[in-house]
Amino acid sequence: MAFLVLMLPMLGMPAAMAQKAGTVALCKDDRTEKGLAAFPRQVHLIKIRARARLARRELPEALADAQVVAEAQPRFGRTNAERAALNLRSDNPAALTDIAMALRIEPNEPRWQSLAARINLATGDAAAAERFVTAAPAAPSPEADLLLRTKAR
């Protein structure tokens, strides 16, 4: 696979096309299914499958995998935040619960705070979104800056 991606520019295809072709091939050739058949409770393989499904825009299946990962690793804020982001993309109100769990586990994580601001803004609670933006640590994320600029308009 790597040899093919390296050879594509020599065959006349631009480098950007080579990267895209490699990504598409990787998503189509999802070998995690074989790994999960052999080891069905491997959380890392389920994470990989969820990301591959998200790349293929299979949102319900990716959300189901994120649910399995979050149940298997309840003490990690990242798993809850990833599930919250998927719920936000599918307009599911469970995103608020998931981001609250992520913030309970890791309250000072700026990525979770900016995600919480986006979720609250999407649900129409601008006051709560502003609280998360102002409570962000000293090095704000670009998303928090974007939220403040859109609020100023």
Statement: residue 143 has pLDDT above 90: no
The whole-number pLDDT of residue 116 equals: 93
User: 131, exposed or middle or buried, with CB in 10 Å at 0-12, 13-18, 19+?
Assistant: middle
- 59-117 per-position pLDDT tens digit: 999 999 999 999 999 899 999 999 999 999 999 989 999 999 999 999 988 999 999 99
Mean pLDDT on 135-149: 58
The whole-number pLDDT of residue 99 equals: 93
Mean pLDDT on 32-60: 80
Question: How many Å apart are CA 99 and CA 55, to the nearest integer?
Answer: 22
- 2-29 per-position pLDDT tens digit: 443 443 344 443 444 344 555 555 555 5
Helices 110-122 and 77-89: crossing angle in degrees, nearest 10, is 30
pTM, whole model, 2 decimals?
A: 0.64
User: 129, exposed or middle or buried, with CB in 10 Å at 0-12, 13-18, 19+?
Assistant: buried
